[in-house]
Structure formats: structure tokens, C-alpha cells
Structure 1
Amino acid sequence: MSHRHPLFARFYARTSLLMERGVGAHRRTLLDGLTGRAIEIGAGNGLNFPHYPDTLTQVIAVEPEPHLRTLAATNAAHATVPIKIVDGWADRLPADDASCDAAIASLVLCSVPDQDAALAEIARVLKPGGQLRFFEHVHHPRPARRRIQQTLDVTRVWPWFGGGCHCSRGTLTAIKRTGFTIDHLDTLTSADTGMPFPTAPQILGTATRP
């Protein structure tokens, strides 16, 4: 399976900068207080990088899309923590077992081919007691809107438009199913983030690996 999405990558690289007006503050909340060694799954063009605290010793930033990975490397050069940019897949992370203190999933679990496989990999590379920090858009609580999201996914309209993104996933349930304990959870709306339906609402939280 190819992870090249050249048109989407260039579109995302531009529009993601505009989204930062609403999303940037939530990125800071997502990453606040991290220590030790962290791995970011699907780092994109590196918009989390300015928000990583200097209490981290290293960030491994995994990004499979070549254009976004190039942009991430440029942004990593200006970060205040050491960031290593690597090619890799969410279901085959390039890290040893129990080698990371924290993992970051930021607007990526919507687009991985298999959420359960990706979350199992995250659990594998985390140390016992390690943290998963997540900021993801999820299915809508209202049945009518959820049906719209499901239709967009089933017909492949949204995944085609969004470079593999799915807007109707029950990501919180998947995190719990993997065995993580949810420590903190905020539910955000378009008013909070500026991210419109069908990529709303969003969840931002912390979970612990047993």
C-alpha cells in the first residue's frame, strides 16, 4: 500500500497553517508536561514541533508521506528539542519495545488503515505506565450527523478527499479496547478548534499504558 498522496499533501500543507489559529492552543495542551523520549505517529509537516517542551530528550517523528516528511525535516531544524524524522507506518513503528515514555497521535488515527493495529503498536513501543497523548476528530454524537459521516466514509468520498481520512471512527472506543486507561478527556467542537463538520467533534486527552 502506497502512502504517497502528493495532491493531498500539498493541499494539507497549506490549509493546516490556516487551521493553526484554532488548533495551535490545543496542540500546546496536548504536549504540555511531556518528559523523556516521545514518538509522534503521523507527524505531517511538523506543526506540533514548536509546542514540544524542552523537558523531552528526543522526539521520533514518524511520517510516511514523502512531501510532508520533507517539510517536517525543515521544521524540526527550528525546534527546541532534538527531533528525528523517520519514514514509517503506524502499524510497524520504527522503535523498540518499551522504548518510549510517551506517544503522540494528533489528527492521524482517522487515516491509519487499521486503528487496532496502530494502537497495538503504540502500546508496544511505550514503557509500562507510558502515556498516549491524543487529539483526534471522531464520530458525531447526534445520529443524523453520524449517518452523514458514515455515508461519506462508506462511499469513499471523504477518504478520497482527505488522503485516507475517515470521519466516522469511534477512536475513543478503540483506545480503550487496546487496553489503555483514559486519564483525562476533553470533547471539543468546531467553536473550540475551528475544524468544521464532518471533522467535528474532536477529543483531546491522555491515556496510560498498563
Structure 2
Amino acid sequence: MARPALRVGLTGGIGSGKSTVSRLLTEHGAVVIDYDLLAREVVEPGAPALAQIAERFGAGVIAADGTLDRPALGAVVFSEESARRDLEAITHPAIRDLAVRREAEAGDRVVVHDNPLLIEMGGHTACDVVVVVDVPVEVQVERLVRDRGMTEQEAHARIATQASRDDRAAVADVVVDNSGSVDELTARVGDVWRELAAR
């Protein structure tokens, strides 16, 4: 099994612009493993994790077509800490296993693990470099209200379920400040890519 040329962990709080950084790194030539996509894949109909979720949370979180009813599940897990932990205990191991398979398929390339929960899942410990996309909390809230239709209360609640800025900063090898313009972010990611490619 070929090991990647470099294993990069990419994370950032919701609304930080991490997905934009991920896309830019792909354009530079990185192989990106998107954990949001993995999280959807492991709960597709027929997947063991979906059956475990139904057993733990009840039939009310399964839609009529047999898929996961994400809003129904979200209403439970984002309001109850123990429920969120139970969900993570089901999904995180399945996501980690799938990520290992995706990385093996990438071969000797720079592989970016694009994971909003990189720290919460302990994934940063397996990375050569951790890149954190950072913005102030008030910018996160403003973007979530504007772009995702959340109320300020909903935005703060979602942010509170993730690692804090201090937690992310503590494990960061590279911090990408995304409180400026798109052009500034594009230039910064170009610099980061050159740093990564030079390792």
C-alpha cells in the first residue's frame, strides 16, 4: 500500500471557508478526501451505520424512501450532547475506515484530509501537516446567517458543537486567515501549496 507523499489535515469551523480552500488545493494538484462526502456515504441505505442509527434513534430519523432524514436526526443531536456522542460513536469509525481506503487509492500524492471534525476525531495525530482555516466567530455567524439561512442562535449552537478556535490553533502547523477577500485567500492558498510541495 503506497503511502501518500504528504498527509495533510485540513480543518476549520463551520462558515470558515474550508471548502473553498479544499477546492483551491485540488486545483493545485492535491488529492482531497472530503469527509462530508464520506459521512454521507457511510449512511447510505444498506450501510451498517444507517442500521445502527435507526436502532439508536428510532424509525423517525429514517425517511420513507429508506434514506437518512438528516433534519430529523440533526434536531436531536444538535440539542442533546449525549445523542451527538452516540451518533459519533457510530459514524466516526466507519468514516475513518473509508478514509483509509480512499487514501490507499491515491497513491504517492499529496493527500488532503478535508475534515471539519479533524481534531474531534483525533485525525490530526495521523497527519504530517495540519492546516487550519480561521475566521473570527462573528464572521462565522454572519456567513451562516447570510449564506445558510440560520438564525444567529442556530449559528452559535452549531459553532459550539465544534472544536474552539483555540483548540484548532493549538494543533495547527499552518493557519489560513480567511477574513479577507477571495483574491487574498487564493494567494494565501497558493503560498501554502508551495510550502507543502516543497516538503
Say whether the fold is shared (TM-score over 0.5). no
Greater helix share, structure number: 2
Aligning the two structures, in what range does the TM-score lie when normalised by the shorter sequence? 0.3 to 0.5
* TM-score of the aligned structures, taking structure 2 as reference length: 0.34
* TM-score of the aligned structures, taking structure 1 as reference length: 0.33
Q: For the pair shown, which has the larger CA radius of gyration, 1 or 2?
A: 2
Q: Taking CA–CA contacts closer than 8 Å with sequence separation of 6 or more, which of the two structures ends up with the larger relative contact order?
A: 2
